[in-house]
Structure 1
Amino acid sequence: MYAKTKLSFGTLLVSNSILISEINEGVTLNKELSDAIIHFAKVTFQNRPFVYLTNRVNSYAVDPIIYRDVSQIKTLRGFAVVSQTLSARNAEIERLFLNKPFEIFSDLDKAKAWALKRLKENQSESFID
């Protein structure tokens, strides 16, 4: 079961150590909006590791500069894009900007399984910011 948080630009779902975003149609995910998600993740997970899944059910733009800040989140253990459309091709470019494990999936359940595997593999690491 996921806890749902509605934001002005999308919805965030949290379960255990997985954060799933569903950004609204037509949004440009810029630094300001990314900072809101980063803040939410830091408050929600504290110093616990987590994986971020972006479930691209809507069409929206991403400013790749946001990945500079995302790469600095020490407790972030992986980042995945879930898409069944052309945005998966855009994600190949986004991958170049993120310094974290990054995968692309067409199925949310497969992305969740990957996230759980990433978290299990990294259990013994230190997660202090």
Structure 2
Amino acid sequence: MIELLTFDFCEMSIYSNYVVVVMKEGVNVIPEYNEVLIEVTDTYYKDKPFVYITHRVNSYSVDPKIYFETAKIENLKGFAVVSKNYKAKVNAKIEKMFFNKPFEIFRELDEAISWAELLVKSK
């Protein structure tokens, strides 16, 4: 891990090819949070491809419109959702319809990391 960033709505673990984000319990993820993501990507992934991995260990909601803005991050090569929770996986399948880049759902974090590494190296 390169760095651990803590915000009032999430914790971000920065790695060389991907970022792992754990949202806090009960948060409603709104488009304004993309400003934080863009700042982080500009700082750690300037002109470098990366994958966003959301590790859904807590219960929270996502405004699907957020994906239209997230997809505009040019060097973002893919988006992964990690959860063992059935409801979170169903929600992720709906969210996937709003995102026009590779978007996968995984049960285990290590599976998502392997996918992210392959995706970054193939681009």
- Smaller-chain TM-score range? over 0.9
Partner of 2:42: 42
Q: Where does the alignment leave 5 or more consecutive residues of structure 2 unmatched?
A: none
Return the offset for 1:108.
0.1
- Separation in structure 1 between the aligned mates of residue 3 and residue 39 of structure 2, nearest angstrom: 17
- Separation in structure 1 between the aligned mates of residue 100 and residue 76 of structure 2, nearest angstrom: 10
Q: Where does the alignment leave 5 or more consecutive residues of structure 1 unmatched?
A: 123-129
- Separation in structure 2 between the aligned mates of residue 46 and residue 15 of structure 1, nearest angstrom: 13
User: May I ask how many residue pairs the two structures share in their alignment?
Assistant: 122
Partner of 1:67: 67
- Separation in structure 1 between the aligned mates of residue 93 and residue 77 of structure 2, nearest angstrom: 19
TM-score by length of 2: 0.95
Return the offset for 1:37.
1.6
Partner of 1:33: 33
Q: Does 1:115 align with 2:109?
A: no
Aligned alpha-carbon RMSD (Å) = 0.9
One-letter amino acid of the counterpart of residue 70, structure 1: T
Partner of 1:99: 100
Q: Percent identity?
A: 39
Partner of 2:9: 9
Return the offset for 1:2.
4.6
SS at match of 1:16: coil
Q: List structure 1 runs of 4+ shifted beyond 6 angstroms.
A: none
